[in-house]
Structures are given as structure tokens and as C-alpha cells.
Amino acid sequence: MVKPYVQRNIDLEPDRAAVKLEPYVGLFDPGELGETKARILAAAYRRLASEGYVALSVREIAKDAGVNHALINYHFRTKDQLVIEVLDAANRRLLARQDEMYQGSGTYAQKWARARRFYESDLASGFVRVQAELWAASFSNAELRAKFVPRLLAWKQRVRDAVGAALAALGDRGVALPAPFTADVIATWISEFWLGMEFGDLLNDPGQRQKHTAALDAVQQLLEWVDNRTAVDPALSAPTRRRRRRS
């Protein structure tokens, strides 16, 4: 017998054979969201990552989460709202991870290497596919697109901020790139390449992955060059640096 719904965080149905969601629950904080909502989001994430948006079934998500189907309607109202909250909850953690990386210590090349490790982790966890599925679905779903685009732009802004900081550091060392190579232009190269790489990698073509790896390696070498140019010599005082630039 299914127990009646009571608004608590343990509204799980004991007679349902819920799937193992432990690998996905880690992306969602039960302490912040409540156990029931976290399990629903984890189940939806799992389905998106394995089957895609088109095949997404709210009833199957409820079955996987081990909850009453009515609870999904209660918490999220629509399927689109559910998937946006899946993206939001996962994205908050990933953006916080990026902010910590950009603001932390380490050279630009080291941060690029770390971002690459993040990407491999996100590819393995299914997050890259989840994001790609929602992007593709938003082409024909205006409501979903209106919610998805700001999330994508938030990530692009972080890339723009990181590039701007790198160019400013170069400028402080007296190295200026030619006028067309602005922070906006370079950030666009990086973000659009990265998004294209994600779609290409999801197709699982080994040849494409090799080319992507070569391109990522090339940026790594470029950033090592930037690091060498922006490295501060402790023996060189700020006034001395300014005099050398003027001369």
C-alpha cells in the first residue's frame, strides 16, 4: 500500500524498485534541496544522460526515484521546468568549481589543464550530453530556450572574464596583442570551439577526438608562453618595470 503524501523530504514509495542513483545524487545536495527532490533530479539527470530529452518520461523518472508520480508535478509542475532545474542544480556546482579555479592560484596553463580534467569528468558523468540535449531541444521549444540561453551565457561570461584577466596581465608586462585580438574575440574562439568540441565528442568519433586533443594541447602551449611572459621577476621592482616600458 502506498503511503499518503505528507510534505516532508522522505516521500519515497517503499514498494517501488528505485534504481541506484548514488553516482548522480552527488550532483545534487539533499541538504539544500531535500531528499525527495534531490532523488527526482538525480533520476531525471540519469535519464537525460542515458536516453536524451525526447525519450524523457516523467513516469519513468518517478519510478527510478522511487517516488509517487504526483510528487514530480508538485515540485516541478512541467517536464521542462524539471529539466531546467536539473541543469541549474548541476550547473551551480560546476560554475562554482570554475570560479574557484579561475580565482585560485596557479598559472594559466595549469588552469587550462585543470579545465580539461573537469571536461573529461563532465563527459564521463553525462553532464555534457545533458547540456547538449537541452540545447538541441531548445531550438524548437521557445520556453525552454528562454530558460536555457542565460545559463549558457553565464558560462561564456566566465570564459570572457578569464581571458580579460590574462590580457590585462600581459599588458602589465608590456605585451600588447594587435587590435583585433580583443578579450571578446579570443573568448568567443575558446567558448565556441569548446561547445563544438562537446558536440563532436558526443558523436564518439576517435578521429575527431584526436584532433580536439591536438587543439587543446596547442592552447596549452600558448598559455605556457603567456605564463612565461607574465611571470614576475622578484628582483625587478615595479618602478623599474615602468621605466623599462617607457624606454
> Per residue in 20-30, pLDDT tens?
676 666 677 77
Give CA–CA dist 89/52, Å, rounded: 18
pLDDT in tens, 36-46: 888 899 899 98
The pLDDT score that the predictor gives to residue 187 is 95
Domain boundary among 57, 77, 97: 77
The pLDDT score that the predictor gives to residue 229 is 82
Query: Do the domain assignments include residue 152?
Result: yes
DSSP for 68-83? -HHHHHHHHSSHHHHH
Question: Same domain, yes or no, for 205 and 124?
Answer: yes
Question: Same domain, yes or no, for 72 and 92?
Answer: no
Count of domains forming the chain: 2
Give CA–CA dist 198/184, Å, rounded: 21
Question: Same domain, yes or no, for 26 and 110?
Answer: no
The single-letter DSSP state of residue 21 is: -
Question: Same domain, yes or no, for 94 and 197?
Answer: yes
Give CA–CA dist 238/243, Å, rounded: 9
Determine the residue type at 135: W
Question: Same domain, yes or no, for 155 and 60?
Answer: no
pLDDT in tens, 69-88: 888 888 888 888 898 888 88
Domain with 32, as residue range(s), is 1-77
Domain boundary among 77, 100, 120: 77
Q: What is the CATH number of the domain that holds 10?
A: 1.10.10.60
Query: Do the domain assignments include residue 247?
Result: no
Question: Same domain, yes or no, for 40 and 144?
Answer: no
Question: Same domain, yes or no, for 27 and 125?
Answer: no
Question: Same domain, yes or no, for 9 and 109?
Answer: no
Query: Do the domain assignments include residue 69?
Result: yes
Question: Same domain, yes or no, for 134 and 190?
Answer: yes
The pLDDT score that the predictor gives to residue 191 is 94
Query: Do the domain assignments include residue 237?
Result: yes
- The angle at the Cα of 166, spanning 162 to 172, to the nearest 5 degrees, equals 145
Question: Same domain, yes or no, for 95 and 144?
Answer: yes
pLDDT in tens, 124-167: 888 899 889 888 989 998 988 988 898 889 889 989 998 998 89
Q: What is the mean pLDDT of residues 91-116?
A: 85
Question: Same domain, yes or no, for 130 and 226?
Answer: yes
Q: What is the mean pLDDT of residues 82-103?
A: 82
The single-letter DSSP state of residue 139 is: T
Question: Same domain, yes or no, for 69 and 130?
Answer: no
| Burial class of residue 189, CB neighbours in 10 A (0-12, 13-18, 19+) | middle
